[in-house]
Amino acid sequence: MAKTNENGVMLTSEELSVFCDQIALMLESGMTLRDGIDMLAEDEEKQGAKAKPYASLRSTVEETGSLYIAMKEREQEWPHYMVEMVGIGEETGRLEEIMKNLSRYYTREGKIKDAASSAVTYPLVLGIMMVIIIAVLLWRVMPVFRRVLNSLGVSPDAGSMKLMRAGTICGWIVLALVGVLILCVVIVAVMMRTGKREKTLAFLRKLLPPVQKISEKLSASRIAGMLGMMLGGGFPIENALDLSEGALDDESSKEKVKEIRGKMNDGEPFADAVSSTGLFTDFYNRILKIGSASGHEPQVLTKISEVYEEQVEDDLGRMISLIEPVMVALLSVVIGAILLSMMLPMVGVMSNL
């Protein structure tokens, strides 16, 4: 989710990615955090940028030399995951590598959010168009059509009347269903931006199986990516699991990490503990076991994270490609039924003239 800085400007995933990339480039060039943040803050002021993340961090970084402390003091402005990963980077001395990984992470997250937004926005716009078109047909066109028939002094036969009533009823039913669906989408969107986000997601997972599958893959991607970064940073697996639980911001992911840690406390190896939780599919569990045996767990986990994120994007794309023709077909059928219910009686009347 985008965060609001002290100026009330939302930091998007793309802006967070750029922020992390700039910090990584600064550290790679040998510049200190104090000098780098100060330089970037001055550049913000010169450009008159709306969002000023560096300016908000400058004073604390100058006093403490710690980016983690500066971000922790303003945690409401930054993603919890980013703040904790910055702390891990400073603790392990691998802040530059962590910031590069975070830059890639928020780039991918931005793509996923764009895909999710498209999956919701396009059907919502199409649904609103359906409501408008059907409402115009029912409230404007149908009454005019009946007045035209009455002005001609001709009454439609019983079959034509049934057809007109069927078209009208069909239109009202679809109008009501689409209206309720649009209202539900708006309510869900509002709930996702409040403190009831987790409850809303849990409800959607139970209600919609595709959402459940996408959520599971996203959870697997985040856990694998985080553990891969920490293990690559030299953390023991037990410490990595403890820190991951604190850095994750969704309850389903936290529960998975707790389950893995509990099984490891019972004596199971890491790869076996992950396998028994069902976090990954059997294929990736086998790859993880091979990686564990060869000492390449960080690389394997990072790759698994990237693959799952790509699958999430593909799944969202398929949802969009499925919703679009269904909505168009429904719109065509309903409008066609309403128009036929008007035109066929008119044809009968014209043939009798």
Positions of E strands within the chain:
3-4, 10-11
Structural contact between residues 88 and 98, judged by C-beta atoms closer than 8 angstroms: yes
Give mean pLDDT, residues 167-187. 77
What residue type is assigned to position 293 of the chain?
A
Best CA proximity match to 304, nearest among 234, 222, 249: 222
**66/60 Cα distance (integer angstroms):** 8
What does pTM read for this prediction? 0.66
pLDDT of residue 197 exceeding 70, the answer is no
Across residues 47-61, what is the average pLDDT?
Answer: 76
Tell me the CA distances in angstroms from 227 to 103, 123, 241, 302, one per residue in order: 16, 36, 7, 8
Q: Which residues, at least 6 apart from 255, have a Cβ–Cβ distance to it below 8 Å? A: none
pLDDT beyond 70 at 156: no
Secondary-structure breakdown of the chain: helix, strand, coil percentages, each rounded to the nearest 5: 85, 0, 15
Q: What is the mean pLDDT of residues 19-24?
A: 90
Q: Label residue 8 by pLDDT band (50, 70, 90).
A: very low
How does pLDDT run across 183-192, given as a tens digit for each residue?
Answer: 887 787 777 6
Q: Which CATH class is domain 111-353?
A: mainly alpha
User: Contact at 8 Å (CB) between 88 and 243?
Assistant: yes
Give 277-289 pLDDT, tens digit per residue.
888 889 999 999 9
- pLDDT level of residue 1 (50, 70, 90 thresholds): very low
Rounded to whole angstroms, the Cα distance separating 287 from 307 reads: 13
Q: Where are the domains of the chain?
A: 3-78, 111-353
Residue 318 to residue 300: CA distance in whole angstroms: 27
For the cut 50, the answer to whether the pLDDT of residue 111 exceeds it is yes
pLDDT at 286: 92
Burial 135-146 (b: 16+ CB within 10 A, else e): eebbeeebeebe
What would the mean pLDDT of 115-141 be, rounded to a whole number? Answer: 76
Residue 167 burial class via C-beta count within 10 angstroms: exposed 0-12, middle 13-18, buried 19 and up? buried
Torsion, Cα 200 202 204 205, to 10 degrees, reads 160
| Rounded Cα distance, 156 and 147, in Å | 12
Q: What φ, ψ does residue 4 adopt, rounded to 5°?
A: -100, 125
pLDDT band at 346 (very low <50, low <70, confident <90, very high): low
In the chain, the amino acid numbered 141 is V
Instruction: Give the C-alpha separation, 279 to 221, whole Å.
Output: 9
Tokens encoding 195: 């403190």
Reported as a pLDDT band with limits 50, 70 and 90, residue 238 is confident
